[in-house]
Chains A and B, each alone.
Chain A
């Protein structure tokens, strides 16, 4: 008979068998037996956050930059509720997370016990699945299933709620490898048929105004997917644009790349999406920041949609060819079949799409990302450009918070590799970037990790600087400080007659002194002249840095598609701002 293990031992045994190296967490009454067991498992390192939300975002940053699931350990009640934002964030952006939460002992469940909450009830809509473990003999099966669910099909967060008495109880441990009876999330159960591939190739050949529109699915499919994507784009000679989450899958400085699309995407990317006759969506989900007004979205195009999640297909936009598949699998088989019959396609097809490229060239001439620079005051776009120029020659990982700075980072920082760009897109969580940077640095020791931040966002999880210092993680918090919630202020300017209601932050901390009090390095840049030197100083310091980059307070993020407008009606700059209708105001 196998040796019986306590629930807490089973947790670690399962984590070891899943090859988990790091867990991000915060102890509390209902998880103490698990924390007690930590000392006996040297291969697993615990990173102590300062708030469970921070632990969750760190686990997300770890997962996104390493391709492995992030593991989160929290206590019952407030521990679990604090983790909800991170779980929802991971759910929206398809990040594999396994959250283990403590729960009050089984006999107290339902009695409103101290630090009790209905954790599985609260997290049901923000996880792929969750479990409340009521029998210690179910624990190992559930934990392995949890890892499988989190990482299979479209990845996402899961939660295992373990009552304290179950953590003490002895039970059997077994390593379950594949426990799922069915293919989760419709992970391409059938092989992609040749007729599907031929239809795909036929559409490619017939098109004279094609565009690739790729998203986070390419990143989630693994680094191989990016390689294949590059090959396919080069085989076809077609232009390519990417969503916010897909940046890095295709080199940002390649001439075939039109930049990001969507609400703050480039003029050429959005116009090409609107006017194309073939749209090839690979691993993106026709999000509302991308489509704008659905009825007027790319009216004249045939659309191909490749997605691993069948429920993503046809949810927002009807398509002509839908393929439910992992991106790598699809691209591999497609490229193989394409090459068999279409040798030298790029050259033979050049003529056919030359007019399209000409048109794209005209759109490009608008230089929609341009801004009026200044030699007196640092423009935020300029700051991001300088950061890019000074870091592009080393392998750099960028995280962001949410707001204007995030869009400027996406527009002006060029990514050449997947898994280098971690941003909260779906949920739009302010406070994401700093803790995410911690997770990224854990997964990538020795690499440069920069959180391009806004001063409002970063204050939401600033306490995690303490974590960075404790574990000697030399993350760089690059704050574009305009003293406003910039994106809120921008919308108030455009929509609410410049009534800047509550979007100015008075009494901001002195970020340099704040850095010092945390025991890290504070740097401030106030003028364009000193910017480069200060950035270099930030990069060279082998300690965590808070960089207070004092930027223009009034700068707005352009270009933009006002929602409700189709892609070909972008606002390029402040001079084009129009009157706003009352109907429009209601919809914010």
Chain B
């Protein structure tokens, strides 16, 4: 046990780290993203990915999806602290791996290569809803939607096939069935 005569206590035991997806509905006003991001950085929480866009043009509501990691206690704090912010309407929290939640990320890959290689690219992207956005005889821009880990793996596989540029979004999430977030 650490012995201390300091003005601060020694750190206690750290709980198990979980990955969560937190969805936040906010007023789409100036500085709102800075408030959310500042809350995370100021209190030492992680942001793995973040996706944000206005979802209700009339009421100016944006939906922010944040992927984060922390102990159950930290995750609970993130939820409670977010709810205290004035522009936040509601917060939903899902554990990664929950069954009735859908997650998707989108990625765009640019690959340079001859037609043979590009055919190969199309083949290995097949499982991930590929859309060819642009094509020349020596390049291809392909869009896929999949889970984070799948995109990670795909990017790795594409490397040897001439992947030169990757652009990815953060995860977005939605419940299955008729249930909605509340």
Contacts and interface: CB of A to CB of B under 8 A. Distances in A.
Given A294-B12, A310-B83, A587-B10, A494 B5 contact: yes
A180 B87 CA distance: 10
B89 interface: yes
Interface stretch (B31-39, B45-53, B100-108, B147-155): B31-39
Interface stretch (A120-128, A222-230, A473-481): A120-128
Given A120-B31, A294-B12, A128 B86 contact: yes
Interface in B1-23: 2-10, 12-13
Contacts of A581: 2-5
Nearest to A132: B30
Contacts of A495: 5-6
Contact of A124 (B2, B5, B35, B84): B35
Interface string A111-155: 000000000110011001100101000000000000001000000
B79 to A, nearest CB: 9
Contacts, number: 100
A310 B12 CA distance: 23
Contacts of A185: 84
A580 interface: yes
B76 interface: yes
A314 B6 contact: no
Going nearest first, the 10 A-B pairs with the smallest beta carbon separation are A564-B4, A587-B6, A311-B80, A584-B4, A562-B5, A129-B86, A581-B3, A584-B5, A295-B12, A580-B5
Contacts of A172: none
Interface stretch (A3-11, A285-293, A403-411): A285-293
A341 B81 CA distance: 38
Given A309-B84, A311-B77, A311-B81, A588 B7 contact: yes
A376 interface: no
Given A124-B38, A293-B9, A315-B77, A563 B83 contact: no
Nearest to A487: B7
Interface size class of A (residues with CB under 8 A): 35 or more
A309 B81 CA distance: 10
Given A132-B30, A182-B89, A311 B8 contact: no
A310 to B, nearest CB: 5
Nearest to A581: B3
A494 B5 CA distance: 8
B115 interface: no
Interface of A: 120-121, 124-125, 128-129, 132, 134, 149, 180, 182, 184-186, 288, 291-295, 309-311, 313-315, 491, 494-495, 562-565, 578, 580-581, 583-588
Contacts of B31: 120-121, 124, 132
B4 A295 contact: no
B4 A587 contact: yes
A128 B83 CA distance: 12
Contact of B34 (A121, A182, A310, A586): A121
B139 to A, nearest CB: 39
Nearest to A586: B6
A563 B30 contact: no
Contacts of B84: 128, 184-186, 309, 311
Contacts of A180: 86
A578 B5 contact: yes
A409 to B, nearest CB: 19
10 contacts: A129-B86, A149-B86, A186-B80, A314-B77, A564-B3, A564-B6, A585-B5, A587-B6, A588-B7, A588-B8
